[in-house]
Amino acid sequence: MRSNIFRISAGLAIIILITWFLLPKYMQKALIYQKPGIRDLEIFENRMVKAGKPMAWPVDSLCNAEPISDSASAEFKKYETVAYLVVKGGRIVHEEYWDGWNDSTVSNSFSMAKSIVSLLIGCLIEEKKVALDDPVRKYIPELLDMKDHPVLIRHLLTMSSGLNWDESYSSLTSVTTEAYYGNDIQGLVTSLNPTEVPGKIHRYKSCDTQLLGIIVERASGMKVADYASLRLWQPLGAEFSAYWSLDSKDGNEKVYCCFNATARDFARIGQMVLDSGMFNGRQVVPKDYISEATSPATCLKDDEGKPCDYYGYQFWLTTYKGQRVIFARGILGQYIFIIPALNTVIVRLGHKRSDEYTHHTPMDAFTYIDEGIRLATPK
Protein backbone atom coordinates (compact mmCIF):
# COMPACT_ATOMS: atom_id res chain seq x y z
CA MET A 1 0.00 0.00 0.00
CA ARG A 2 2.72 2.46 1.01
CA SER A 3 4.75 1.61 -2.08
CA ASN A 4 1.74 2.36 -4.29
CA ILE A 5 1.22 5.72 -2.61
CA PHE A 6 4.93 6.49 -3.07
CA ARG A 7 4.79 5.61 -6.78
CA ILE A 8 1.68 7.74 -7.30
CA SER A 9 3.25 10.68 -5.44
CA ALA A 10 6.50 10.34 -7.38
CA GLY A 11 4.57 10.18 -10.65
CA LEU A 12 2.60 13.31 -9.82
CA ALA A 13 5.81 15.14 -8.85
CA ILE A 14 7.39 14.21 -12.18
CA ILE A 15 4.31 15.41 -14.09
CA ILE A 16 4.35 18.71 -12.19
CA LEU A 17 8.06 19.20 -12.89
CA ILE A 18 7.65 18.44 -16.59
CA THR A 19 4.67 20.80 -16.80
CA TRP A 20 6.67 23.53 -15.02
CA PHE A 21 9.61 23.29 -17.42
CA LEU A 22 7.28 23.30 -20.43
CA LEU A 23 5.66 26.56 -19.32
CA PRO A 24 6.87 29.76 -21.01
CA LYS A 25 9.33 31.70 -18.87
CA TYR A 26 6.88 34.55 -18.32
CA MET A 27 4.31 32.14 -16.87
CA GLN A 28 6.91 30.67 -14.54
CA LYS A 29 7.79 34.17 -13.36
CA ALA A 30 4.12 35.06 -12.89
CA LEU A 31 3.58 31.93 -10.79
CA ILE A 32 6.64 32.70 -8.67
CA TYR A 33 5.67 36.31 -7.91
CA GLN A 34 1.87 35.79 -7.99
CA LYS A 35 0.92 39.44 -8.41
CA PRO A 36 2.55 42.80 -9.20
CA GLY A 37 3.88 44.91 -6.35
CA ILE A 38 5.13 48.43 -5.80
CA ARG A 39 8.69 47.20 -5.17
CA ASP A 40 8.90 45.22 -8.39
CA LEU A 41 11.93 47.11 -9.64
CA GLU A 42 13.77 44.59 -7.45
CA ILE A 43 12.71 41.68 -9.68
CA PHE A 44 13.35 43.36 -13.05
CA GLU A 45 16.27 44.82 -14.91
CA ASN A 46 16.03 48.63 -14.92
CA ARG A 47 17.36 51.62 -16.83
CA MET A 48 18.11 54.77 -14.87
CA VAL A 49 16.27 57.99 -15.64
CA LYS A 50 19.06 60.23 -14.46
CA ALA A 51 18.36 63.26 -12.32
CA GLY A 52 20.32 66.42 -12.94
CA LYS A 53 20.64 69.34 -10.56
CA PRO A 54 18.02 68.70 -7.85
CA MET A 55 15.60 71.44 -6.84
CA ALA A 56 14.17 70.95 -3.38
CA TRP A 57 10.45 71.49 -2.90
CA PRO A 58 9.53 74.54 -0.83
CA VAL A 59 7.82 73.33 2.34
CA ASP A 60 5.07 75.43 3.86
CA SER A 61 5.74 76.64 7.40
CA LEU A 62 2.47 75.00 8.50
CA CYS A 63 3.18 71.69 6.75
CA ASN A 64 1.46 68.83 8.61
CA ALA A 65 -0.03 71.24 11.13
CA GLU A 66 -3.40 69.72 10.32
CA PRO A 67 -3.51 65.91 10.74
CA ILE A 68 -5.29 63.55 8.39
CA SER A 69 -8.86 63.13 9.57
CA ASP A 70 -9.91 59.95 11.35
CA SER A 71 -12.32 58.94 8.58
CA ALA A 72 -9.71 59.42 5.86
CA SER A 73 -7.06 57.71 7.97
CA ALA A 74 -9.20 54.58 8.13
CA GLU A 75 -9.47 54.54 4.34
CA PHE A 76 -5.74 55.17 3.96
CA LYS A 77 -5.08 52.17 6.18
CA LYS A 78 -7.65 49.99 4.41
CA TYR A 79 -5.90 50.45 1.07
CA GLU A 80 -2.40 50.27 2.57
CA THR A 81 -1.22 53.75 1.72
CA VAL A 82 2.56 54.27 1.88
CA ALA A 83 2.85 57.92 0.81
CA TYR A 84 0.54 60.92 0.73
CA LEU A 85 1.68 64.34 -0.43
CA VAL A 86 -0.28 67.55 -0.96
CA VAL A 87 1.19 70.55 -2.79
CA LYS A 88 -0.66 73.88 -2.81
CA GLY A 89 0.68 76.87 -4.74
CA GLY A 90 3.96 75.08 -5.37
CA ARG A 91 4.61 74.37 -1.68
CA ILE A 92 4.27 71.12 0.25
CA VAL A 93 1.47 71.55 2.77
CA HIS A 94 1.19 67.91 3.86
CA GLU A 95 3.57 64.96 3.60
CA GLU A 96 3.22 61.64 5.34
CA TYR A 97 4.64 58.12 4.94
CA TRP A 98 3.85 54.66 6.31
CA ASP A 99 5.17 51.09 6.16
CA GLY A 100 8.82 52.13 6.22
CA TRP A 101 8.45 54.55 3.30
CA ASN A 102 10.07 57.99 3.28
CA ASP A 103 10.74 60.87 0.89
CA SER A 104 13.55 58.97 -0.85
CA THR A 105 11.75 55.62 -1.34
CA VAL A 106 10.80 54.80 -4.92
CA SER A 107 7.55 53.09 -5.89
CA ASN A 108 6.40 51.46 -9.08
CA SER A 109 4.10 53.86 -10.92
CA PHE A 110 2.24 51.16 -12.81
CA SER A 111 0.02 52.93 -15.36
CA MET A 112 0.88 56.45 -14.18
CA ALA A 113 3.78 55.84 -16.57
CA LYS A 114 1.31 56.16 -19.45
CA SER A 115 0.86 59.85 -18.64
CA ILE A 116 4.64 60.32 -18.61
CA VAL A 117 4.87 58.76 -22.08
CA SER A 118 2.20 61.18 -23.30
CA LEU A 119 4.34 64.07 -22.07
CA LEU A 120 7.33 62.69 -23.99
CA ILE A 121 5.23 62.66 -27.16
CA GLY A 122 4.46 66.31 -26.48
CA CYS A 123 8.18 67.01 -26.33
CA LEU A 124 8.74 65.24 -29.65
CA ILE A 125 5.97 67.30 -31.24
CA GLU A 126 7.70 70.46 -30.05
CA GLU A 127 10.91 69.22 -31.67
CA LYS A 128 8.93 68.52 -34.89
CA LYS A 129 10.08 64.92 -34.81
CA VAL A 130 6.52 63.58 -34.76
CA ALA A 131 3.00 64.90 -35.42
CA LEU A 132 -0.29 63.82 -33.92
CA ASP A 133 -1.67 62.67 -37.26
CA ASP A 134 1.43 60.78 -38.36
CA PRO A 135 0.70 57.16 -39.25
CA VAL A 136 2.25 54.85 -36.66
CA ARG A 137 3.77 52.77 -39.46
CA LYS A 138 5.99 55.74 -40.35
CA TYR A 139 7.96 54.78 -37.22
CA ILE A 140 6.91 51.15 -36.79
CA PRO A 141 6.64 49.70 -40.32
CA GLU A 142 6.32 46.17 -38.96
CA LEU A 143 2.92 46.98 -37.42
CA LEU A 144 -0.07 45.84 -39.49
CA ASP A 145 -2.73 48.42 -40.37
CA MET A 146 -6.37 47.92 -41.23
CA LYS A 147 -6.69 48.55 -44.97
CA ASP A 148 -7.42 52.21 -45.77
CA HIS A 149 -7.58 53.03 -42.05
CA PRO A 150 -4.08 53.71 -40.71
CA VAL A 151 -3.44 53.86 -36.98
CA LEU A 152 -2.27 57.37 -36.11
CA ILE A 153 -0.26 58.60 -33.14
CA ARG A 154 -3.43 60.40 -32.02
CA HIS A 155 -5.21 57.04 -31.88
CA LEU A 156 -2.55 55.55 -29.63
CA LEU A 157 -2.75 58.54 -27.30
CA THR A 158 -6.53 58.22 -26.95
CA MET A 159 -6.39 54.40 -26.83
CA SER A 160 -8.50 53.99 -29.94
CA SER A 161 -6.05 51.96 -32.05
CA GLY A 162 -8.44 49.07 -32.67
CA LEU A 163 -5.66 46.52 -32.07
CA ASN A 164 -6.38 43.09 -30.61
CA TRP A 165 -5.15 43.36 -27.04
CA ASP A 166 -6.68 41.72 -23.96
CA GLU A 167 -6.27 44.05 -20.96
CA SER A 168 -6.65 41.23 -18.43
CA TYR A 169 -4.68 41.32 -15.18
CA SER A 170 -5.73 38.09 -13.54
CA SER A 171 -5.18 35.54 -16.30
CA LEU A 172 -1.90 33.61 -16.41
CA THR A 173 -2.18 33.30 -20.20
CA SER A 174 -3.18 36.90 -21.02
CA VAL A 175 -1.02 39.11 -23.21
CA THR A 176 -0.88 41.63 -20.35
CA THR A 177 0.75 39.03 -18.09
CA GLU A 178 3.24 38.25 -20.85
CA ALA A 179 3.97 41.96 -21.27
CA TYR A 180 4.71 42.37 -17.56
CA TYR A 181 6.81 39.24 -17.00
CA GLY A 182 8.01 38.44 -20.53
CA ASN A 183 11.30 39.34 -22.20
CA ASP A 184 10.25 40.69 -25.63
CA ILE A 185 7.62 43.37 -25.18
CA GLN A 186 8.48 45.07 -28.46
CA GLY A 187 7.91 41.89 -30.44
CA LEU A 188 4.69 41.31 -28.51
CA VAL A 189 3.06 44.64 -29.38
CA THR A 190 4.29 44.89 -32.97
CA SER A 191 2.75 41.50 -33.79
CA LEU A 192 -0.80 42.65 -32.95
CA ASN A 193 -3.52 42.73 -35.57
CA PRO A 194 -6.17 45.42 -36.15
CA THR A 195 -9.72 44.27 -35.37
CA GLU A 196 -11.58 47.61 -35.36
CA VAL A 197 -11.36 50.80 -37.39
CA PRO A 198 -9.04 53.09 -35.41
CA GLY A 199 -10.17 56.42 -34.06
CA LYS A 200 -13.73 55.30 -33.32
CA ILE A 201 -13.87 53.51 -29.97
CA HIS A 202 -11.86 54.14 -26.81
CA ARG A 203 -10.75 50.86 -25.27
CA TYR A 204 -8.13 50.97 -22.53
CA LYS A 205 -5.15 49.01 -23.89
CA SER A 206 -1.59 49.05 -22.58
CA CYS A 207 -0.31 48.07 -26.03
CA ASP A 208 -1.13 51.56 -27.33
CA THR A 209 1.21 53.14 -24.79
CA GLN A 210 3.91 50.58 -25.47
CA LEU A 211 3.77 51.43 -29.19
CA LEU A 212 4.12 55.10 -28.26
CA GLY A 213 7.30 54.12 -26.41
CA ILE A 214 8.73 52.58 -29.58
CA ILE A 215 7.93 55.83 -31.40
CA VAL A 216 9.68 57.86 -28.67
CA GLU A 217 12.81 55.74 -29.06
CA ARG A 218 12.89 55.74 -32.85
CA ALA A 219 11.96 59.40 -33.31
CA SER A 220 14.37 60.68 -30.66
CA GLY A 221 17.20 58.27 -31.42
CA MET A 222 17.53 57.65 -27.68
CA LYS A 223 16.42 55.05 -25.18
CA VAL A 224 13.13 56.10 -23.64
CA ALA A 225 14.67 56.46 -20.17
CA ASP A 226 17.45 58.67 -21.55
CA TYR A 227 14.99 60.88 -23.43
CA ALA A 228 12.82 61.12 -20.31
CA SER A 229 15.88 62.20 -18.34
CA LEU A 230 16.78 64.88 -20.89
CA ARG A 231 13.31 66.30 -21.51
CA LEU A 232 11.51 65.74 -18.20
CA TRP A 233 13.46 64.51 -15.21
CA GLN A 234 16.32 66.99 -15.35
CA PRO A 235 14.22 70.06 -16.31
CA LEU A 236 11.84 69.18 -13.46
CA GLY A 237 14.73 69.23 -10.98
CA ALA A 238 14.01 65.73 -9.71
CA GLU A 239 15.74 65.06 -6.41
CA PHE A 240 16.40 61.40 -7.21
CA SER A 241 17.05 59.39 -10.33
CA ALA A 242 14.09 57.25 -11.36
CA TYR A 243 14.20 53.73 -12.79
CA TRP A 244 12.26 52.37 -15.76
CA SER A 245 11.91 48.59 -15.61
CA LEU A 246 12.98 46.61 -18.69
CA ASP A 247 11.82 43.41 -20.33
CA SER A 248 15.36 41.97 -20.23
CA LYS A 249 18.96 42.94 -19.52
CA ASP A 250 19.79 45.95 -21.74
CA GLY A 251 16.31 45.49 -23.22
CA ASN A 252 13.31 47.75 -23.76
CA GLU A 253 11.48 49.87 -21.22
CA LYS A 254 8.03 48.64 -20.26
CA VAL A 255 6.69 52.12 -20.84
CA TYR A 256 3.03 51.29 -20.20
CA CYS A 257 4.00 50.78 -16.56
CA CYS A 258 6.96 50.44 -14.28
CA PHE A 259 8.38 53.93 -13.85
CA ASN A 260 9.83 53.92 -10.33
CA ALA A 261 10.18 57.22 -8.47
CA THR A 262 9.52 59.00 -5.18
CA ALA A 263 6.29 60.72 -4.16
CA ARG A 264 7.98 64.11 -4.22
CA ASP A 265 9.29 63.58 -7.73
CA PHE A 266 5.95 62.28 -9.02
CA ALA A 267 4.48 65.53 -7.69
CA ARG A 268 6.73 67.45 -10.09
CA ILE A 269 4.89 65.87 -12.99
CA GLY A 270 1.61 67.08 -11.50
CA GLN A 271 2.92 70.58 -10.83
CA MET A 272 4.19 70.92 -14.39
CA VAL A 273 0.83 69.83 -15.83
CA LEU A 274 -0.96 72.18 -13.42
CA ASP A 275 1.21 75.04 -14.71
CA SER A 276 0.43 74.29 -18.38
CA GLY A 277 3.78 72.64 -19.06
CA MET A 278 5.90 75.16 -17.15
CA PHE A 279 8.25 74.32 -14.30
CA ASN A 280 10.56 76.74 -12.50
CA GLY A 281 10.11 79.32 -15.25
CA ARG A 282 10.85 76.92 -18.11
CA GLN A 283 8.37 75.58 -20.66
CA VAL A 284 9.07 71.84 -20.37
CA VAL A 285 6.14 70.55 -22.43
CA PRO A 286 4.24 72.77 -24.91
CA LYS A 287 1.26 74.57 -23.40
CA ASP A 288 -1.02 73.67 -26.30
CA TYR A 289 -0.15 70.00 -25.96
CA ILE A 290 -0.92 70.00 -22.22
CA SER A 291 -4.30 71.59 -22.94
CA GLU A 292 -5.17 69.00 -25.58
CA ALA A 293 -3.80 66.07 -23.57
CA THR A 294 -5.96 66.97 -20.58
CA SER A 295 -9.16 67.50 -22.57
CA PRO A 296 -11.64 64.64 -23.02
CA ALA A 297 -11.59 62.72 -26.31
CA THR A 298 -15.35 63.13 -26.73
CA CYS A 299 -15.07 62.46 -30.46
CA LEU A 300 -14.75 58.79 -29.42
CA LYS A 301 -17.33 56.41 -28.02
CA ASP A 302 -16.44 54.06 -25.20
CA ASP A 303 -17.30 50.37 -25.20
CA GLU A 304 -20.74 51.24 -23.78
CA GLY A 305 -21.47 53.52 -26.72
CA LYS A 306 -21.19 56.69 -24.63
CA PRO A 307 -18.95 59.71 -25.37
CA CYS A 308 -15.47 59.28 -23.88
CA ASP A 309 -15.57 62.25 -21.52
CA TYR A 310 -13.16 60.78 -18.97
CA TYR A 311 -9.92 60.26 -20.93
CA GLY A 312 -7.56 62.47 -22.92
CA TYR A 313 -4.06 61.69 -24.15
CA GLN A 314 -3.16 59.05 -21.52
CA PHE A 315 -4.60 61.22 -18.73
CA TRP A 316 -7.79 60.46 -16.78
CA LEU A 317 -10.37 63.20 -16.20
CA THR A 318 -13.27 63.68 -13.81
CA THR A 319 -15.36 66.39 -12.17
CA TYR A 320 -15.79 66.07 -8.44
CA LYS A 321 -17.83 68.42 -6.26
CA GLY A 322 -17.65 71.01 -9.00
CA GLN A 323 -13.87 70.74 -9.37
CA ARG A 324 -12.20 69.63 -12.57
CA VAL A 325 -9.62 66.94 -11.76
CA ILE A 326 -6.90 65.65 -14.08
CA PHE A 327 -5.07 62.56 -12.94
CA ALA A 328 -2.62 59.81 -13.67
CA ARG A 329 -3.32 56.46 -12.05
CA GLY A 330 -1.85 53.00 -11.50
CA ILE A 331 -3.47 49.67 -10.81
CA LEU A 332 -2.56 49.49 -7.10
CA GLY A 333 -3.78 52.99 -6.26
CA GLN A 334 -0.91 55.11 -7.53
CA TYR A 335 -2.26 58.60 -8.22
CA ILE A 336 -1.18 62.07 -9.24
CA PHE A 337 -4.22 64.37 -8.94
CA ILE A 338 -4.18 67.86 -10.45
CA ILE A 339 -6.93 70.30 -9.38
CA PRO A 340 -6.39 73.48 -11.45
CA ALA A 341 -9.01 75.71 -9.79
CA LEU A 342 -7.46 75.05 -6.36
CA ASN A 343 -3.83 75.23 -7.56
CA THR A 344 -3.31 71.85 -5.89
CA VAL A 345 -1.46 68.61 -6.65
CA ILE A 346 -1.99 65.41 -4.63
CA VAL A 347 0.14 62.28 -4.81
CA ARG A 348 -0.90 58.99 -3.25
CA LEU A 349 1.11 55.75 -3.39
CA GLY A 350 0.14 52.41 -1.89
CA HIS A 351 -0.52 48.71 -2.23
CA LYS A 352 -4.26 48.62 -3.02
CA ARG A 353 -7.14 50.49 -4.58
CA SER A 354 -10.91 50.12 -4.57
CA ASP A 355 -12.63 47.69 -6.91
CA GLU A 356 -15.69 49.97 -7.07
CA TYR A 357 -15.93 52.73 -9.67
CA THR A 358 -17.96 55.85 -10.33
CA HIS A 359 -17.83 56.85 -13.98
CA HIS A 360 -14.52 55.05 -14.56
CA THR A 361 -12.86 56.46 -11.42
CA PRO A 362 -11.99 54.09 -8.52
CA MET A 363 -13.92 55.08 -5.40
CA ASP A 364 -10.84 55.38 -3.18
CA ALA A 365 -9.63 58.25 -5.37
CA PHE A 366 -12.32 60.52 -3.94
CA THR A 367 -11.02 59.96 -0.40
CA TYR A 368 -7.57 61.23 -1.40
CA ILE A 369 -9.04 64.16 -3.33
CA ASP A 370 -11.37 65.16 -0.48
CA GLU A 371 -8.63 64.97 2.11
CA GLY A 372 -6.16 66.81 -0.09
CA ILE A 373 -8.60 69.65 -0.68
CA ARG A 374 -9.27 69.88 3.06
CA LEU A 375 -5.57 69.95 3.94
CA ALA A 376 -4.84 72.52 1.21
CA THR A 377 -7.65 74.88 2.25
CA PRO A 378 -6.60 77.64 4.66
CA LYS A 379 -8.37 77.38 8.02
Cβ neighbours of 128 (radius 10 Å): 7
Considering the domain 40-376, what is its CATH architecture? 3-Layer(aba) Sandwich (3.40)
Q: Residue 21 has what pLDDT?
A: 46
Model confidence over 363-374: pLDDT tens digits? 999 999 999 999
Q: Is 221 helix (H, G, I), strand (E, B) or coil?
A: coil
Q: What is the DSSP letter of 66?
A: S
Model confidence over 274-328: pLDDT tens digits? 999 999 999 999 999 999 999 999 999 998 899 999 999 999 999 999 999 999 9
Alpha carbon distance 286, 273 (integer Å): 10
Alpha carbon distance 373, 54 (integer Å): 28
In 49-66, which positions are buried (b, 16+ CB within 10 angstroms) versus exposed (e)?
Answer: bebeeeeebeebeeeeee
Model confidence over 237-287: pLDDT tens digits? 999 999 999 999 999 999 999 999 999 999 999 999 999 999 999 999 999
CA atoms within 13 A on the CB side of 63: 18
Model confidence over 49-99: pLDDT tens digits? 999 999 999 999 999 999 999 999 999 999 999 999 999 999 999 999 999
Query: DSSP string covering 118-175, please?
Result: HHHHHHHHHTTS--TTSBGGGT-TTS--BTTB--BHHHHHTT---B-----SS-TTSH
What's the pTM? 0.93
Residue 17 has pLDDT above 80, yes or no: no
Query: For 167-176, 211-220, 280-289, which range has the lowest pLDDT when averaged over its residues?
Result: 167-176
Region 328-346: mean pLDDT is 97
CA–chain centroid gap for 112, Å, is 2
The mean pLDDT value of the chain amounts to 91
Q: Residue 1 has what pLDDT?
A: 52
Q: Return the higher-pLDDT residue of 25 and 306.
A: 306
DSSP collapsed to 3 states, 248-267? CCCCCECCCCCEEECHHHHH
